[in-house]
Amino acid sequence: MSGRKKRDIGGIIVVDELPLRWSIKSEPMWHTTDGDIGMRLSVVKHDEATTRHGTLKAWRELVLQYPFDPKQNSPSRFPERPNVTPEMVTAGVRLALDAGWVPDSRGRPFELVLEESDLVR
């Protein structure tokens, strides 16, 4: 058994008149080689334009990594899954735009590791 699967949630948000598609990239994990990792979200520009091969155009992905919460309400071998709200995603996207993410560009994913102070805004 490989454990539980990640949630299949996501949606479309609009930030500064730019439609963006978001989904969960990975759930929180503890005791990895990089330490404890919080939930990660994937955000890309929502565009229905296709390439000449019929696939959706690729835009630069934003990966938002939220802080890991070590507190558990019940003992389990898996960390608890945090709730995700569109407001939370929108706030993270605004921070990424301020940090230099350009949704219309292409290239490697832009990874932004958020801290507790970023979430309080």
Within-domain flag for 2: no
- The per-residue pLDDT for 1 is 45
Residue 109 lies in domain:
10-116
Within-domain flag for 106: yes
Nearest to 45 by CA among 3, 78, 93: 93
Does residue 35 contact residue 65 with C-beta atoms inside 8 Å? no
Here the tokens at position 102 are 């350009």
Q: What is the distance between the alpha carbons of residues 113 and 66, in angstroms, rounded to a whole number?
A: 6
Within-domain flag for 68: yes
Within-domain flag for 1: no
**SS3 state at 75:** coil
Within-domain flag for 32: yes
- The per-residue pLDDT for 112 is 94
Interval 36-79: pLDDT, tens: 788 889 999 988 777 788 777 778 999 999 887 766 666 655 65
Does residue 72 contact residue 80 with C-beta atoms inside 8 Å? yes
Q: What is the distance between the alpha carbons of residues 10 and 121, in angstroms, rounded to a whole number?
A: 23
- Average confidence (pLDDT) over 13-28: 89
**How many domains does the chain fold into?**
1
Q: What is the distance between the alpha carbons of residues 30 and 37, in angstroms, rounded to a whole number?
A: 6
Interval 66-115: pLDDT, tens: 887 766 666 655 656 777 888 989 999 999 999 999 998 888 999 999 88
Count of other CB atoms within 10 angstroms of residue 24: 16
Within-domain flag for 5: no
For the entire predicted model, the pTM comes to 0.78
Within-domain flag for 88: yes
Within-domain flag for 61: yes
- The per-residue pLDDT for 10 is 85
